[in-house]
Homo-oligomer: A and B are copies of this chain.
C-alpha cells in the first residue's frame, strides 16, 4: 500500500496515471440477430458491476424524421458518426470515459448524452462496430452473430411488433428495404470476427424444435482447449469439426445440438464454467431467452465468449504488470 501511495503522489496529475485497460468485446450483427440477448447473458454471468454495455447504434447521424427524406437506412455507414464512434472506442479501450450520444429507438429521436466510465469489461454491440479498421483495432475479442435469415426475420417480427409497435407487414417491408445495405455493410463484418455464432434449425427439424448453433472459432485468437469437454460422453450435446468457411478458409466449427438432453448440456456447461474460475455460481438463468424458455446452444455460446473475455483480461493484466 505505501508503495502505491508514493507512485500516485509522484505523478504530475491524475490524468497521467495510466488507467487499467478494460477488455473490449465487439458483438456485431444485423438487426434482431440476438446481440442484446447475448450481451444480457454475458452481463449476467460476470455480474453487472464488472461490465459496461455500449450500443453503437446510438451514433446515428439523423433522427427518424430526417431519415425519411434520405436515400439510405440506419445500416449505411454514412447514416452514422463512424469517426466519432472510432474515437470513443479508442478512448474506452485506453480506459478513458466518454460522453456517449443516446438515440431513443422508441421515439426515433436523440436524448441526453450519457457518461460512460470504463469498467473491467466493455461490451460494444450494434450494427457496425467492426466496420472500419480503426474500430476493429480497439477490440480484444470480436463476435459476429449470423443466425439463419429465416430465423432472424422471425425474431425481428416478434420483437418489433411486441416492443416497437409495428405490424408484421411493416417489419417485412423494412427488412426488404434494408436488404441491399445489409449485404453491403453489415455482412462483410463477419469476415473480421474472431467468433461467428450461427443459430439455425437443424435440417428437417419441426417448427417447434429447439435451434442448434454452429460456433466458428477463427484462428485469430487462441481458443480454449476443449478436450476435457469434447468426449464420447458429450457428443450428443456438442462436437467439433474442422471445416472450410464460406470463403474457403479453414476454421474450427463447434456444433451445439439444441435437441441434446438438458442434463447432458447442463453437465457440459458446468464443466466449462468451473474451468473459467469466475468467483460466483453458474447463473441459473444462463441461456434463458424468456421466463421458462432455455436454449442450451445460447448458454454454451455465452460460455465460449466468456472464456475469451477472461483470457483477454489475463493477457491484459500480464502486459500491465510486465
Contact = CB atoms under 8 A, between A and B. Distances in A.
Interface of A: 13, 15, 61, 63, 81, 83-84, 86-87, 91, 96-99, 101, 109-113, 115, 133-134
Contacts of A86: 15
14 contacts: A13-B133, A15-B83, A61-B115, A81-B99, A84-B98, A84-B99, A84-B115, A87-B96, A99-B101, A99-B113, A101-B113, A109-B112, A110-B111, A113-B113
A112 B13 contact: no
Copies of this polypeptide in the complex: 2
Contacts of A87: 91, 96-97
Nearest to A133: B13
Find the residue from A81, A91, A112, A115 having the highest chain B CB count within 10 A. Answer: A112
A136 to B, nearest CB: 12
Nearest to A112: B110
A15 B134 contact: yes
A interface SS class: mixed
Contacts of A99: 81, 84, 99, 101, 113
B15 A112 contact: no
A134 B84 contact: no
Contacts of A110: 111-113
Given A99-B101, A112-B63, A13 B134 contact: yes
Contacts of A84: 97-99, 115
Contacts of A113: 99, 101, 110, 113
Nearest to A134: B15
A165 to B, nearest CB: 23
A61 B115 CA distance: 9
A140 to B, nearest CB: 21
A56 to B, nearest CB: 13
A61 to B, nearest CB: 8
A13 B134 CA distance: 9
A81 B115 contact: yes
A81 B99 CA distance: 9
Given A84-B98, A84-B99, 19 more contacts: A13-B134, A15-B83, A15-B86, A15-B134, A61-B115, A81-B99, A81-B115, A83-B97, A87-B91, A87-B96, A99-B99, A99-B101, A99-B113, A101-B113, A109-B112, A110-B111, A110-B112, A110-B113, A113-B113
A13 B86 CA distance: 13
